[in-house]
Amino acid sequence: MFQLAPHRILSSVTAALVLTLGLWVSSGRAAEAAAAATSALPKLLDLGSKSCIPCKMMAPLLKELTEEYAGKLQVEFIDVWVKENAAKGKEYGISAIPTQIFFAPDGKELWRHEGFFAKADILAKWKELGFDLGTATAPKIERWEPAAKDARAKDQICTLCDGDISPKTAVVVTSAKGDVRLCSLHCAFILYSCLTEDKTGFEKRVSVTDYATGTLVAASDVAYLQGADGKTGRPWIKAFASRDGAAKEMQTGGGSIIGWAALQESELSQRCGFCDRSLYPQDVASVRVEGAQSYGCCAHCAMGVTARTGKDTEVRQPDGLTGEMIIVKTLGGAVASVEPATAVAWFGKKQTADGKWVSAGCFHQGFFATPENLRQWLDVHPLETGEMITIQQSLADKMKLTPQQIQKACKIGECAPK
């Protein structure tokens, strides 16, 4: 555990300080009495400032302790560098910031510490002092109303992934219920992979955008340029009404020219081990099932692989905000370990016309290394609605599905596009 040196208020003990020390001790007792009056809970008091570096590092963990141990521990912060609190440092007899003082429910000071003090160490200290705070009560994170209005026109939103539709790659699939507009051929093949109806002649229902001119053309008589991003390896597809157009683009952008059949084969080659949707491994969760490689098209589908196969799995899914890898191991249909231990799941939900809350679909789910990461992700995704659940809950939800429900999972009509 690394330590940061506390910010010394008094670098040396002067004669004057020795003289006033008696006074400090007595006002310290007054402070103890004040602490007892306000609370019957053990109390952690942090005296610091908003600008000293170790004090700033204390701020998020104090917030977490406040939320996670609400009703068990009182947490208070006093900024001793602001004018109105100028006397507090003296009152509590501190000589450095930050200083953490541990008070018993009766207000008696139990112990104090100077400098940055890690959350785990604080909890361990409370235990050592005879106060078992138990396990953290997870703060509730939920959103049942979008935090912003979707300003996009309906025909600019991909029906499947809700992403923006670029005029250079738009795809239209005709269906019995009307035209479905999609952002990409990849989304078209995801749609294909989860259709329950007869799919013969699917390509005849698909129109793609000619990358060169921006006009819609029939998917079956198009040359496709397929390549992969140099950095991520994620595939990309560009459609061209003429082979010459594709050849020209290939000279600058690389890739190889293929027809519909080869494109379809390649697009459908990697599937979700739970719901059978086509996917790109770069986008999704990796699932090891007894040494074999599988994938989950979202975090919850990854847990679903355990339910579908009945085998022990190891799921790796990057944090939706930071990309930090979250590793979940299952044993006998239950979660055996989660790394990091603070990781949580987001269950994206949407409301149906009759008011029921259902899954918002695979593009709206995720794992996060901490509840705070999820909170920050929600800030930048104002349209997302749903709630935070534990990773254990995510698996339990899948384990209780019947084989019939698993069979139908994520097929159009379940996680149906709007």
E-only strand ranges, 171-309: 171-175, 178-182, 206-209, 216-218, 223-228, 235-240, 256-258, 285-289, 292-296
Contact pattern for Zn ion over residues 314 through 343, marking x by CB under 5 A: ------------------------------
Toward Zn ion, which CB reaches closer, 81 or 274? 274
Give least dist CB 244 to Zn ion, A.
Answer: 28
Is 297 an interacting residue with respect to Zn ion (CB under 5 A)? yes
Toward Zn ion, which CB reaches closer, 179 or 244? 179
Token pair 């947490």: residue: 75
- CA neighbours within 13 Å on the CB side: how many for 417? 24
Cα dihedral sign for 168, 174, 175, 178? Answer: positive
In the structure encoding, which two tokens stand for residue 213, read together? Answer: 């001119």
Among 58-66, 154-162, 245-253, 254-262, the segment contacting Zn ion (CB under 5 A): 154-162
* Strand bridging mode 325-331 / 313-318: antiparallel
**What is the C-alpha separation between 159 and 155, in angstroms, rounded?**
9
**What is the C-alpha separation between 115 and 117, in angstroms, rounded?**
6
Among 43-51, 112-120, 153-161, 221-229, the segment contacting Zn ion (CB under 5 A): 153-161
**What is the C-alpha separation between 389 and 315, in angstroms, rounded?**
17
Give least dist CB 267 to Zn ion, A.
Answer: 13
Q: Which residues 6+ apart lie within 8 Å of 284 measured at CB?
A: 272, 295, 296, 297, 298, 302, 317
Among 75, 246, 275, 302, binds Zn ion (CB under 5 A): 275
Toward Zn ion, which CB reaches closer, 54 or 273? 273
Is 408 an interacting residue with respect to Zn ion (CB under 5 A)? no
In the structure encoding, which two tokens stand for residue 397, read together? Answer: 């939800």
Closest CA to 209 of 184, 174, 244: 184
Among 65, 96, 101, 301, binds Zn ion (CB under 5 A): 301
Provide the greatest CA pair distance for the chain: 94
Among 13-21, 92-100, 300-308, 374-382, the segment contacting Zn ion (CB under 5 A): 300-308
Toward Zn ion, which CB reaches closer, 187 or 321? 187
132 forms bridges with which residues in the sheet? none
* Strand bridging mode 74-79 / 43-48: parallel
Is 237 an interacting residue with respect to Zn ion (CB under 5 A)? no
Give least dist CB 374 to Zn ion, A.
Answer: 21
Among 27-35, 301-309, 330-338, 396-404, the segment contacting Zn ion (CB under 5 A): 301-309
Give least dist CB 362 to Zn ion, A.
Answer: 5
Toward Zn ion, which CB reaches closer, 118 or 268? 268
* Strand bridging mode 96-97 / 74-79: unpaired
**What is the C-alpha separation between 302 and 314, in angstroms, rounded?**
9
Phi then psi dihedrals of residue 194, to 5 deg: -115, 15
Give least dist CB 206 to Zn ion, A.
Answer: 14
Q: How many amino acids of this chain bind Zn ion (CB under 5 A)? A: 12
Toward Zn ion, which CB reaches closer, 245 or 361? 361
Is 272 an interacting residue with respect to Zn ion (CB under 5 A)? yes
Among 35, 62, 65, 187, binds Zn ion (CB under 5 A): 187
Give least dist CB 156 to Zn ion, A.
Answer: 11
Give least dist CB 295 to Zn ion, A.
Answer: 8
Toward Zn ion, which CB reaches closer, 45 or 188? 188
Contact pattern for Zn ion over residues 156 through 185, marking x by CB under 5 A: --x-xx-x-------------------x--
Token pair 């022990």: residue: 312
Binding site for Zn ion (CB under 5 A): 158, 160-161, 163, 183, 187, 272, 274-275, 277, 297, 301
